[in-house]
């Protein structure tokens, strides 16, 4: 059947709307309706897909009225962010800005003010775009996903949460409840960078770096790359290569080559060919590492500098 994806005036099919007040109630609905249900958080991805009939859920479970799913908490093991917390709340949070600057730097690049007033952190992760902008900083932060379902609760590393484009480790009766991000190592420098069609477009390639130096030598480096593989990924090979090395131009080049070597072309890439993504991921690696180092040295760095 021909579907006109340009008619986005209406949602062209019927569904039942549910607005549970508690996580238990939401899980109950999920286990009752399984794959016929979709969770509605901000709606900025879901409603577009519904208008275009990419998906046609029979049940919509709106989780925005569940208080337990929103908010930012400082705990011993890290910062806990409710899945339905809006991007705008993260943007305005001094706690996020100070403790998780790499996440803050990513969030402020996501969409427009309107989009950030609607979109949620959990929605960005569950939508599981390979270039989700919240995913790369959280992967670099070693964040975990707290998942609830009819069988109870489980916590998995975010690295195991993404399993393919638009696919997560969530079972049909499960939902993401919280993201838990450990604190940064002391004196770490961080950087998030992205390249997209326009300033507020989804990234074509994005990259997050967390760097810790011991003198001039890399003590620990974490690199997460988006838009280059079926999921956002950690580039462990480059991280291992950098450990114990001085960040000379040659070392930066080699690290960048390792990162760009992780570009795995997908048949559905229409927006930018693999060569472009390789070139961009190489450049972003060098820039992000350089900026992270400058930040350790206490230098102010503006986004987009050189």
Partner 1 sequence: MRIRFKLNGREVEAEVEPNTLLLNLLREQFHLTGAKYGCGIGECGACTVLLDGEPILSCLTLAVEVDGREVTTIEGLAGDGELHPLQRAFLEEGAVQCGFCTPGMILTAKALLEENPNPSEDEIREYLKGNLCRCTGYVNIVKAVKKAAEEMAG
Distance (Å, rounded) from C-alpha 89 to C-alpha 225? 25
For every residue of 165-183, DSSP letters joined together read TTEES--TTEEEEEEEEPP
When the beta carbons of 9 and 76 are compared against partner 1, the nearer one is 9
> Residue 82 forms beta bridges with which residues?
178
> Which member of 3, 8, 36, 55 binds partner 1 (CB under 8 A)?
8
Report how far Cα 285 is from the mean position of its chain's Cα atoms: 18
Q: Which two tokens stand for residue 195?
A: 């390249």
Radius of gyration of the chain (CA): 20
When the beta carbons of 200 and 305 are compared against partner 1, the nearer one is 200
Nearest approach in angstroms of CB 218 to partner 1 is: 34
Q: Tell me which residue of 194, 130, 120 sits closest to 162, measured CA to CA.
A: 130
Does position 17 interact with partner 1 (CB under 8 A)? The reply is: yes
Q: Which residues contact 288 (CB under 8 A, 6 or more apart)?
A: 191, 192, 193, 207, 208, 209, 223
When the beta carbons of 10 and 267 are compared against partner 1, the nearer one is 10
Distance (Å, rounded) from C-alpha 169 to C-alpha 302? 36
> Residue 149 forms beta bridges with which residues?
152, 174
**Which stretch, 75-83, 107-115, 146-154, 234-242, contacts partner 1 (CB under 8 A)?**
107-115
Distance (Å, rounded) from C-alpha 230 to C-alpha 238? 19
Contacts with partner 1, 55-94, as mask; x by CB under 8 A: -----x-x-x-----------------------x------
Nearest approach in angstroms of CB 111 to partner 1 is: 7
> Which member of 30, 37, 38, 44 binds partner 1 (CB under 8 A)?
44
Distance (Å, rounded) from C-alpha 96 to C-alpha 143? 14
Nearest approach in angstroms of CB 282 to partner 1 is: 28
Q: Report DSSP state, residue 2.
A: -
Does position 166 interact with partner 1 (CB under 8 A)? The reply is: no
Nearest approach in angstroms of CB 108 to partner 1 is: 9
Q: Tell me which residue of 63, 77, 250, 65 sits closest to 179, measured CA to CA.
A: 77
> Which member of 95, 115, 251, 272 binds partner 1 (CB under 8 A)?
115
Distance (Å, rounded) from C-alpha 50 to C-alpha 74? 36
> Which member of 113, 156, 163, 217 binds partner 1 (CB under 8 A)?
113
Nearest approach in angstroms of CB 43 to partner 1 is: 5
When the beta carbons of 47 and 286 are compared against partner 1, the nearer one is 47
Nearest approach in angstroms of CB 166 to partner 1 is: 17
**Which stretch, 41-49, 152-160, 185-193, 244-252, contacts partner 1 (CB under 8 A)?**
41-49
Q: Tell me which residue of 204, 252, 256 sits closest to 226, measured CA to CA.
A: 204
Distance (Å, rounded) from C-alpha 137 to C-alpha 131? 11
**Which stretch, 8-16, 145-153, 167-175, 208-216, contacts partner 1 (CB under 8 A)?**
8-16
Q: For binding to partner 1 (CB under 8 A), which residues are involved?
A: 7-11, 13-17, 19, 40, 43-44, 47-48, 51, 60, 62, 64, 88, 111-115, 117-118, 199-200
């Amino acid at each position: 059947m021909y579907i006109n994806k340009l008619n986005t005036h209406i949602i062209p099919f019927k569904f039942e709307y549910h607005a549970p007040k508690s996580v238990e109630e939401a899980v109950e609905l999920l286990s009752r309706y399984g794959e016929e249900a979709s969770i509605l958080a901000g709606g900025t991805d879901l409603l577009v897909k519904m208008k275009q009939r990419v998906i046609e859920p029979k049940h919509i479970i709106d989780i925005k009225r569940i208080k337990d799913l929103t908010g930012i908490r400082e705990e011993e093991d890290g910062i806990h962010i409710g899945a339905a917390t809006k991007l705008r709340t993260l943007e305005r949070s001094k706690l996020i800005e100070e403790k998780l600057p790499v996440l803050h730097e990513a969030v402020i690049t996501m969409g427009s003010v309107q989009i950030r007033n609607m979109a949620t952190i959990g929605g960005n992760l569950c939508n599981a775009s390979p270039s989700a902008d919240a995913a790369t900083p959280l992967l670099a932060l070693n964040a975990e996903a707290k998942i609830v379902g009819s069988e109870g609760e489980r916590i998995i590393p975010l690295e195991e949460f993404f399993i393919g484009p638009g696919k997560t480790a969530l079972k049909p009766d499960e939902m993401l409840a919280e993201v838990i991000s450990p604190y940064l190592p002391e004196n770490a420098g961080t950087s998030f960078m992205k390249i997209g069609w326009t300033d507020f477009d989804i990234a074509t390639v994005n990259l997050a770096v967390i760097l810790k130096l011991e003198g001039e030598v890399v003590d620990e480096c974490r690199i997460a790359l988006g838009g280059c593989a079926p999921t956002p990924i950690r580039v462990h090979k480059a991280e291992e290569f950098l450990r114990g090395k001085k960040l000379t131009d040659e070392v930066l080049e080699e690290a960048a080559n390792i990162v760009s070597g992780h570009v795995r072309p997908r048949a559905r890439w229409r927006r930018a060919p693999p060569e472009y993504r390789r070139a961009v991921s190489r450049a972003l690696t060098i820039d992000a590492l350089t900026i992270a180092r400058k930040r350790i040295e206490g230098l102010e760095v503006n986004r987009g500098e050189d």
